[in-house]
Amino acid sequence: MSDEKNPFAAMLAQMQEMTKAFPQMAAFDPSKGFDPKMFETLWPTMPKDMMEAWFGNTVNKDGLDAKTRLLLTLAGLTMQGAQADTAIRQTVRHAREAGATDQQISETLGMMAMFAGVPAMTRALALAQEVMGDDEDET
């Protein structure tokens, strides 16, 4: 083999070139540090109808709607200590798309102070406000 280049190094260089095609992949640029918010933009918010079909009461007519399920998911993520930043921000984004108001999201998280503790609730609220604040910047 005439090429003395390490195959792993060649593969890594090729992957770094490929990531330049996707601006969101800059989240993995070691020179800039990992940016999870940039990475989150790879997953767009699902339309309300799609969430209702997959997570709502489409199959079970008497079941929970997508908005309620997403608020329960948000409560569960808070109960785990609000450690999953990306999951919380995405759940808030999807809950809003499913029809949840900022007030309902805040109440859901506020209620978690009783069950998950004030630090977890505070952390979840801070993450939720990052998403809720995005709309205020656009208006």
pLDDT tens per residue across span 96-135:
999 999 999 999 999 999 999 999 999 999 999 999 986 6
Q: How far apart are CA 102 and CA 93, in angstroms?
A: 10
Domains of the chain as residue ranges with CATH: 7-35 (no CATH), 43-138 (1.20.1290.10)
Mean pLDDT (the chain, rounded): 81
pLDDT in tens, 78-99: 999 888 888 999 999 999 999 9
Q: Please give the structure tokens belonging to residue 94.
A: 């999807």
pLDDT score, position 139: 41
29-34 mean pLDDT: 61
Instruction: Answer whether residue 35 shows pLDDT above 70.
Output: no
Instruction: Answer whether residue 77 shows pLDDT above 70.
Output: yes
Measured in degrees and rounded to the nearest 5, phi and psi for residue 63 equal -85, -175
